[in-house]
Amino acid sequence: MLQCFNTTKYSGGRDMAEAATLIGIAEPVILTVDNGGTNTRLALGAEEINHIEAYPTPVSYDEAIGKLAATASCLLQGKTLDAVGVGIAGATTDRRLTQAGKLQENGWCGRPFTEDVAAALGVPIDRVVLLNDCVAGANAERVARQPGPDETGSFMVLSTGLGGALYTADELIPDEPGHQYLKPGALCGDGAEGHVEAHIGGAGIAKKFGVRGEHIPHDDPRWREIKGDFHEGIAQMLERYRDDLGLTLRTIGFTGSVVLGGPDMMGGLQRSLRTVFGSLAPQITEAIYRDKSGLYGAKFAADGLLKAA
C-alpha cells in the first residue's frame, strides 16, 4: 500500500479539473523535480509552487526512481501527467547523468535516467526534460527577468558547493564555477587542490576551518578570508566569461545557505565587484524564485516541451 505523507486534501479539486477539461481550459499537469545529491523535492507545476514533497535522495539509483514515482503518484492523486521537468545535481548529456559529485559516487552516471523516469511515471520519453539543476535555476531566472537580445545573466548557488549557469534571451549555458582554481590551501571534493568551492562552499569551509560556517561568528576574521576568496573567485569567473565567451553579465541571482547566511555576502560582493569592474559590474541580487529556482526552471522547461509538441 502506497504511503502518502502529505497532509493536503484536494477535495473537489479533481472534479473542478475535470469540469475545466470539458470546456477546454485545463492547465497541463506538470511534475517538477529537483533531484539533489542530498535531498529530492517534487511539486506539481503551478503559477505559484507552494506544496512541495521532499525526502533524502536514496543512495540506490533504482530505489530513487521508485521513490520518485511513488511520491509523484501521491501528488497527482489520479490526475494524468502531461509533462515532467527534472533538474539534477550533475552534468547531463543525451538524457543521462554524465558527471556528478555525490550521485556519481553512488553509481548514477550513465544510467538511462530520462527513460527510467518516463517509464516509472507512465509518460512518453519525449514529455520528460532533464537538465542540470543550475541550468534549471538559470532557466527560472531567464523566464522571470526576460533578458533583452544582448543581455546575459547568471544563476548561482553558494551552499555546500558553488554552482552556476548562464542565460541569454534564448540560450542556457552550463558552467562549473566552483571547480576553477583559486589558490592553494584547500582540497576540493573532486580531489583537486585549490578549487573555488573548496575555499568558500559549506563543505569546504567545514573541512578547511574544522567548523561549520553557521558556527563561525560573523565578526570572526575567518569570514573575512572566506569573503575575500568569494570576491576573488567571482571576479575571476567574470573575467573568464568575458575572455572565453565574450559575455558580460548584467545580473547574478544568488541563492544558497552560505551566501544568505554569511555576513553581508551579497552586499560585500557587489561593492568589491564595483571597485574591480566599475560600471560593468553585474548587479548582485537574490534569485527571483529563491530556493525554488530549480523547481520553477524545470517546470518552465516542461512547459516548453508541451509548447513545442
Q: Which is nearer to Zn ion, 82 or 133 (CB)?
A: 133
The values of phi and psi at residue 276, to 5°, are -85, -45
CB of 309 to Zn ion, least distance (A): 38
Q: Which residue is nearest to Zn ion (CB)?
A: 188
Give yes or no for residue 195 binding Zn ion (CB under 5 A): yes
Q: Rounded to an integer, what distance in angstroms lies between the CA atom of residue 214 and that of residue 220?
A: 12
Interface with Zn ion: number of residues (CB under 5 A):
5
CB of 163 to Zn ion, least distance (A): 11
Q: Rounded to an integer, what distance in angstroms lies between the CA atom of residue 277 and that of residue 248?
A: 10
Q: Which is nearer to Zn ion, 145 or 179 (CB)?
A: 179
Give yes or no for residue 188 binding Zn ion (CB under 5 A): yes
Give yes or no for residue 232 binding Zn ion (CB under 5 A): no
Q: Which is nearer to Zn ion, 189 or 213 (CB)?
A: 189
Give yes or no for residue 179 binding Zn ion (CB under 5 A): yes
Q: Rounded to an integer, what distance in angstroms lies between the CA atom of residue 178 and that of residue 228?
A: 15
Q: Which is nearer to Zn ion, 153 or 177 (CB)?
A: 177
Q: Rounded to an integer, what distance in angstroms lies between the CA atom of residue 40 and that of residue 279?
A: 39
Q: Which is nearer to Zn ion, 161 or 262 (CB)?
A: 161
For residue 164, the surrounding DSSP H or E stretch is: strand 162-167
CB of 158 to Zn ion, least distance (A): 14
Q: Rounded to an integer, what distance in angstroms lies between the CA atom of residue 75 and that of residue 290?
A: 22
Interacting residue with Zn ion among 27, 151, 190, 232 (CB under 5 A): 190
CB of 178 to Zn ion, least distance (A): 6
Q: Rounded to an integer, what distance in angstroms lies between the CA atom of residue 75 and that of residue 51?
A: 9
For residue 265, the surrounding DSSP H or E stretch is: helix 265-277
CB of 91 to Zn ion, least distance (A): 13
| Burial group, residue 147, by CB count within 10 angstroms (0-12, 13-18, 19+) | middle
Q: Which stretch binds Zn ion (CB under 5 A): 72-80, 151-159, 195-203, 295-303?
A: 195-203
Strand, helix or coil for residue 43: strand
Neighbours of 73 (CB within 10 A): 17
CB of 192 to Zn ion, least distance (A): 5
Contact residues toward Zn ion (CB under 5 A) are 179, 188, 190, 192, 195
